[in-house]
Amino acid sequence: MAVKLHFSKGHGTGNDFILFADPDGSLELTAEQIRALCDRHFGIGADGVIRAVRSANLDAGAAALVENPGAEWYMDYYNADGSVAEMCGNGVRVYAEFLTRSGLAELAQGEILPIGTRAGVRDVQRSALGYQVDMGRWWLEDDEPLVSAKGLKVARPGLGIDVGNPHVVVALSDDAELEALDLAYVPVIDPEPVNGANVEFVVPGEPLIRDGVGHISMRVHERGVGETLSCGTGTVAAALAIRHWAGERAPDEWRVTIPGGTVAVRMFPTEEDGEHVSLSGPAELVFDGEVTLA
Ligand SMILES: N[C@@H](CCC[C@H](N)C(=O)O)C(=O)O
């Protein structure tokens, strides 16, 4: 029987998503359905799909990841190719906007909305830019893979960073090198990470630090999608990588410019869990609709 799906379309700095509410967890889409919805010519078109499920209705595997019982809602995130991803930094802000706009959750200024993800719980609050997300901890990978990409004259070393999902960050020398990249082709990472990775190409600002704030520009090739206008977790990984390379005098406050806009990244200490990193940026819902699932 054909199923009608009510959806909202939204984006965070041009990274766009199809969102729908499935509070009971009864409407799991197939990878084929997700690919069809995300198709920009034959479907609605999006970089990913977000299903809003109540954490209480998750299957046991997913529920185990939502260790905070306060996370009433879970962000069930899928890339445009139908694969799952652990986290989505732009998606989680757009998800907060979707939950609050549709009356499924409340979020007053200064309050926190915990959201369950495959990478654990992420705390979201309203901010001057739209929403701020506590992205939690991260891990530097031990090895430095070589990354080659179409338009890049020589392969460059990348820094592997896990911010809940996997990233490899590559530093380029200037804007001309960034613009010359053809990210319609998948960058090759050698050795290839077992679960794949999102690849960020980053250029330091000139100057890198202005009034105590670091500035970088970035383009990204997302795992399971292709080039996108923005990747929230990618901007966080890029800021962490540049701070790592810049050494002790590098700031904890960063502005990352991507083709879809600019977001803010901040590293901050926590008492109980070491250093965390936050991501702030806009989240917009642009239209609602109904589609019949094949
Ligand atoms: N666009 C997202 C990241 C989405 C998941 C990514 N493609 C992956 O497979 O890890 C973001 O804003 O973080």
For the chain, what are the domain ranges? 3-135+282-293, 139-272
**According to CATH, what is the number of the domain 3-135+282-293?**
3.10.310.10
The closest-lying atom of ligand 1 relative to the alpha carbon of residue 236 is 13
pLDDT of residue 263: 98
The 3-state secondary structure of the chain reads: CCEEEEEEEEEECCEEEEEEECCCCCCCCCHHHHHHHHCCCCCCCCCEEEEEEEHHHCCHHHHCCCCCCCCCEEEEEEECCCCECCCCHHHHHHHHHHHHHCCCCCCCCCCCEEEEECCEEEEEEEECCEEEEECCCCEECCCCCEEECCCCCCCEEEEEEECCCEEEEEECCCHHHHHHCCCCCCCEEECCCCCCCEEEEEEEEEEEEECCEEEEEEEEEECCCEEECCCHHHHHHHHHHHHHHHCCCCCCEEEEEECCEEEEEEEEEECCCEEEEEEEECCEEEEEEEEEEC
Task: Please report the atom of ligand 1 found closest to the CA of residue 196.
Answer: 9
The CA-based angle 193-149-262, given to 5 degrees, is 90
Residue to substitute in 76, 219, 231, 280 for testing ligand 1 pocket (most ligand atoms within 8 angstroms of CB):
231
ipTM of the complex model? 0.99
pLDDT value, residue 166: 98
pLDDT for the residue 77 = 97
- Which among 21, 88, 113, 149 is annotated as catalytic? 88
139-272: same fold as 3-135+282-293? Answer: yes
Q: For position 169, what pLDDT does the model report?
A: 98
Which pLDDT does position 99 carry in this prediction? 98
pLDDT of residue 248: 84
pLDDT value at position 107?
A: 97
pLDDT of residue 215: 98
Can you give the pLDDT at residue 67? 56
CATH code that applies to domain 139-272? 3.10.310.10
Contact 74, 116 (CB under 8 A): yes
Residue 89 assigned to a binding site? yes
Question: For residue 174, what pLDDT is reported?
Answer: 96
| d(CA 88, ligand 1 centre) in Å | 5
**Spans of the chain below 50 pLDDT:** none
